[in-house]
Amino acid sequence: MSGTAASWLFVPGHRPDRFDKAVAAGADEVIIDLEDAVAPADKVTARNAAVDWLATGSAWVRVNAAGTPWHEDDVRTLATARGLRGLVVPKAEDVEALEAVRRELLGRPIVALVETALGLARAIDIARCPGVERLAFGSIDFALDIGSSEDDTALLLARSTLVVGSRVAGKAAPIDGVTTALTDPDAVRRDAERARGLGFGGKLCIHPTQVAVVGAAFRPTPEQVAWARQVLDDASSGAGVVASSTGQLIDKPVLDRARRILDQTDQTHQTEQA
């Protein structure tokens, strides 16, 4: 269920020896990367490696951006790959280009990676595009495009815009960008918790060690689950807006939040058992 997937792990497309290892890392979704991780001279080799592996394996693939020499061949070749779960389309900013990808994919979904100011300005239209299942944030490229730093304050508007745009379009919560610190789990945790607090539903990972940290950050905490259960217990004993033993009034938004937390907990248990 990629609409609820929290951890999305990239693996370089020119390293097929790592594809199985990426799947074994426990991420909700794996993305074979044909774009940033692959040098121009290796693009075709990486594409062929992805297609060969997808004959028996299952993963998403990030293709090269529209307008590059490899984009059309990437999409056309991968569209019929047996194990393709969907395509991650970088530099998403043109609805017509996304529509062209959708036509090739024959029903498989798209994650539109917003990485430019133009893409952000068109976020709602991109999210509404048929075939686009979720938006994702290419935070590093976006900061480069607008000439900003990559800190929380500089990118807050962009992140919130993607969250709101996804909601307006009726799509799943977006996927936040990567944390480049490979040996700092606390940085990954802080970034993931910030993203969840802003309304994101997942995060891109660039190393297997980040997967478990991201997964934990997007699961309800034991304290949140206990609060939600207590709220529902209190509500069941009263009518309308009632006082909670947690020290707050219970109205419809509070009840909805409690139910959402427990729904997320159930989804996590189902995923772990699958």
pTM, to two decimals: 0.88
Q: How far apart are CA 195 and CA 142, in angstroms?
A: 16
pLDDT tens-digit readout, 227-237: 778 878 777 76
Taking the alpha carbons at both ends of the chain, their separation in whole angstroms is 11
Name which of 79, 92, 85, 176 is nearest 127 in CA terms.
Answer: 92
* Confidence at residue 270, expressed as pLDDT on a 0 to 100 scale: 52
pLDDT tens-digit readout, 112-159: 999 999 999 999 999 999 999 999 999 999 999 999 999 999 999 999
Q: Judge whether residue 271 has pLDDT over 60.
A: no
Query: CA 145 → CA 138, 149, 158, 191, 256, distances in Å?
Result: 11, 10, 12, 21, 38
CATH number of 2-217: 3.20.20.60
pLDDT tens-digit readout, 48-64: 999 999 999 999 999 99
For residues 134 and 166, the answer to whether their CB atoms sit within 8 Å is yes
Query: Where does CATH 3.20.20.60 sit in the chain?
Result: 2-217
Element (H, E) at 12: strand 7-12
Q: How far apart are CA 109 and CA 107, in angstroms?
A: 6
* Confidence at residue 252, expressed as pLDDT on a 0 to 100 scale: 79
Name which of 18, 4, 35 is nearest 208 in CA terms.
Answer: 18
DSSP 195-243: HHHHT--EEEESSGGGHHHHHHHTSPPHHHHHHHHHHHHHHHTSSSSEE
